[in-house]
Structure 1
């Protein structure tokens, strides 16, 4: 009986760190297909159409002959693969956001998709109502991102955190962002792009000093665990495909 019970238990999902590129891509496709059943058809269709156009384009330009055929085949494969990856990346990103939407810590999971040069710290502050504030440090300066069930409570939490950060980094620009779908809030699907568009006000050489000051501030805080649930097992593998798209 014990052996039968063990056999019925679902296998624990593998960590993205232990997966190779192909395994991460397969896991990403499975996650996307659960939320977007048409992803396979759309990806194949985009690759096929782009491949045919590429074949015609590269065949006509150099003219007839062996070289024309070779360039046409290579061009069709390149354009078809590129179109398929772009479509798949966009559908996967949309499915990932749909899976995270409304779950605690969703904003923190989205902020992990930021490019290099950004330092993301999830859940640096919270209250008893499970409203939380995440922090991102990058070219715009310090970005405090709040999320929760009550916008007024989130904004109050952001004001409190802003004051704390101004004590240790008064000369650094501090931005406040509320993640949500209400008025004056930034939707989860647009959060990363919104943060990236805040401008470049801090030089890379200055970030080291800013991060050092923030570590001193964080040393006075108690450790806060990130709420479980919003991060798909394949999110880390998807990050490389989704950046900048």
Structure 2
């Protein structure tokens, strides 16, 4: 039987774990503060909205406490401060997210990046089809079924979507297939509303069926390697000739 750690080793291990947690927490706070400073400089309405929400909620809580009187009055003040801070933080998070999507919109690889950051049990395969101009189709498997998300020029993306839907339908039978084109035109879905749009689709299959679909569709492969797709949104002026040549060869 293996000997247990002596008290000194156990104490050192606990101290090391505590120090690691503190370092990670400090790093997160630093990143959050940095994000706040960047957003504050870019978004002039951020601070007024955050301060206004905080003051309004605290004032409402104090008024409710004064009206109720007694012990409730003393409870409502700290409760109002906590709620006010929470709402202010939510406002910051939402405006920062909106800003990120606004910057990414229209850039190459933005849809793939947005899909990789989806919350929930979505199975994403980026770049199942693409052109040399970085028009791309990404495949998503979820409770609604199979969803193809196209980004790029609609004129070039639509034939890619039709082709992928056709070859996928041969394998999956009656499972629903949806297609989405990212953009701001008629019938298109803005990048910032992509996750909301996916979550609104009806649940047609179970988690077990999702696993089965993923296995079957893996056999289809992709028409371009994952390495050929950008890892995130690329600025419009980025030099992409080398990568485009790679895509064309594939």
- TM-score after normalising by structure 2: 0.75
Q: Once the two structures are superposed, what CA deviation does each residue of 1:52-97 show, in whole Å capped at 9, x if it has no partner?
A: 2123224433x23xx2343122221222022212211221121011
Residue correspondence of structure 1 range 27-66 to structure 2 within 5 A: 27-61=34-68, 63-64=69-70
SS at structure 2 position matched to 1:122 = strand
- For structure 2, list consecutive stretches of 5 or more residues without a partner in the other structure: 1-23, 235-250
What is the match of residue 141 of structure 2? 137
Residue correspondence of structure 1 range 217-228 to structure 2 within 5 A: 217-218=220-221, 222-228=225-231
SS at structure 1 position matched to 2:180 = strand
SS at structure 2 position matched to 1:22 = helix
Q: Once the two structures are superposed, what CA deviation does each residue of 1:191-244 show, in whole Å capped at 9, x if it has no partner?
A: 11111111111112211111111222227853443325528xxxxxxxxxxxxx
How far apart are the structure 1 equivalents of 2:128 and 2:223?
11
- For structure 1, list consecutive stretches of 5 or more residues without a partner in the other structure: 1-16, 232-245
- Give the aligned length: 212
Moved over 6 A (4+): none
How far apart are the structure 1 equivalents of 2:118 and 2:225?
26
How far apart are the structure 2 equivalents of 1:18 and 1:147?
37
How far apart are the structure 1 equivalents of 2:170 and 2:37?
47
Q: Once the two structures are superposed, what CA deviation does each residue of 1:173-192 show, in whole Å capped at 9, x if it has no partner?
A: 11000000111111112111
What is the match of residue 190 of structure 1? 193
**Mean CA deviation greater in 22-31 or 175-184:** 22-31
Task: State the structure with bigger RCO (CA 8 A, min sep 6), 1 or 2.
Answer: 1
Contact 1:59 1:71 in 2 (8 A): no
Displacement after TM superposition at 1:44 (Å)? 2.3
Contact 2:129 2:223 in 1 (8 A): no
How far apart are the structure 2 equivalents of 1:38 and 1:48?
15
How far apart are the structure 1 equivalents of 2:185 and 2:84?
39
How far apart are the structure 1 equivalents of 2:51 and 2:142?
37
Displacement after TM superposition at 1:47 (Å)? 1.6
Residue correspondence of structure 1 range 60-75 to structure 2 within 5 A: 60-61=67-68, 63-64=69-70, 67-75=71-79
What is the match of residue 215 of structure 2? 212
Residues 1:78 and 1:98: Cα distance change in structure 2 (over 3 Å): same
Displacement after TM superposition at 1:167 (Å)? 2.6
What is the match of residue 236 of structure 1? none
Larger radius of gyration: 2
- TM-score after normalising by structure 1: 0.76
SS at structure 1 position matched to 2:220 = helix
Residue correspondence of structure 1 range 14-33 to structure 2 within 5 A: 20-33=27-40
In structure 1, which of residues 154, 159, 163 is the aligned counterpart of residue 157 of structure 2?
154
Confirm or deny that 1:181 pairs with 2:184.
yes
Q: CA RMSD, aligned part only? A: 2.6
Contact 1:58 1:75 in 2 (8 A): no
